[in-house]
Amino acid sequence: MLENREGQSVPQVVFNTRINNEWVQLSTDDLFKGKTVILFALPGAFTPTCSSTHLPRYNELAQVFKAEGVDDIICLSVNDPFVMEAWAGDQHAENISMLPDGNGDFSRGMGMLVNKSDLGFGERSWRYSMLVRDGVIEKMFIEPDVPGDPFEVSDADTMLKYLAPEAAAPKRITVIGKPGCSHCTRAKAALKDHGLKFEEITVGSHGISLATLHAVSGRGTTPQVFIEGELVGSADELEAWLAKNAL
């Protein structure tokens, strides 16, 4: 049975981490004492759900959490420091503190260390998230204890709804462009001028072709801008949209 530890202190352990290519030992107090911290734990770096959804959304909402008084957002996995560092770089997770629980000591102390030997993973953390204030767990969202890797309640949006129900999440914006495109440069500048962050997809890289662009937008010119999954269109159309919809 997975244990809900709300109202209890986090386990006292020491983490062996790497900072600036040096070994650094961080204690539980270093991470939690006198701070408001969100920690989310997951089964493994580079694994599908963790890489496509769990980590990216916390990274995306980090500034919203910090505006609500959160000092740090920690991603914990039973992986070594080198793997966690490589994963952070691959994910561009600049807003997240990656915490390697290499021996599983913290996960064990949380009652969240589970055996995934059937997958060749050995012992790993169950997926959960928690809000910790000055070392005391205020709220936990633990995935249901069912076979597989459920992902229903430990996501960033559920945590934000608990912490600040009225807080607005930033718009999800995607710009599909190509190198040397002046209109793409203009569209990105317009978004930056409005303080809006965006994902950039470049035609000609990672298998993205003009055929792909046409398939998703129905158009063959760049840029094509999407906001919350809806096609806004070209740089001119984006500027008109921004003028009409102050964000």
pLDDT in the model for residue 206: 80
Cα–Cα separations (whole angstroms), residue 131 to 98, 160, 175: 16, 10, 33
pLDDT in the model for residue 1: 65
pLDDT in the model for residue 110: 97
DSSP-based three-state secondary structure for 200: strand
Give Cα 78 distance to the centre of its chain.
Answer: 17
50 is catalytic: yes
DSSP-based three-state secondary structure for 246: coil
Packing angle, helices 182-193 and 235-244, rounded to 10? 20
Q: For residue 14, which of 101, 91, 118 has the smallest C-alpha distance?
A: 101
Token digits for 218?
Answer: 């129905």
Maximum C-alpha span of the chain = 58
Residue intervals of the chain classified under CATH 3.40.30.10 are 14-163, 173-244
pLDDT in the model for residue 170: 86
> What pLDDT tens digit does each residue of the chain (247 aa) get?
688 999 999 999 999 999 888 999 999 999 999 999 999 999 999 999 999 999 999 999 999 999 999 999 999 999 999 999 999 999 999 999 999 999 999 999 999 999 998 888 899 999 999 999 999 999 999 999 998 899 999 999 999 999 999 998 888 899 999 999 999 999 999 999 998 889 899 998 888 899 999 999 999 999 999 999 999 999 999 999 999 986 5
Question: What type of residue sits at position 170?
Answer: P
What's the CATH architecture for 173-244? 3-Layer(aba) Sandwich (3.40)
Give the pTM: 0.83
Superfamily of domain 14-163: Glutaredoxin (3.40.30.10)
Cα–Cα separations (whole angstroms), residue 1 to 6, 112, 149, 240: 15, 9, 15, 55
DSSP-based three-state secondary structure for 236: helix
In a 10 Å sphere around its CB, with 0-12 CB exposed, 13-18 middle and 19+ buried, how is residue 123 labelled?
A: middle
Phi, psi of 124 (to 5 degrees): -140, 170
pLDDT in the model for residue 28: 97
Q: Are 50 and 42 contacting, i.e. CB atoms less than 8 angstroms apart?
A: yes
Catalytic site residue from 50, 75, 181, 184: 50
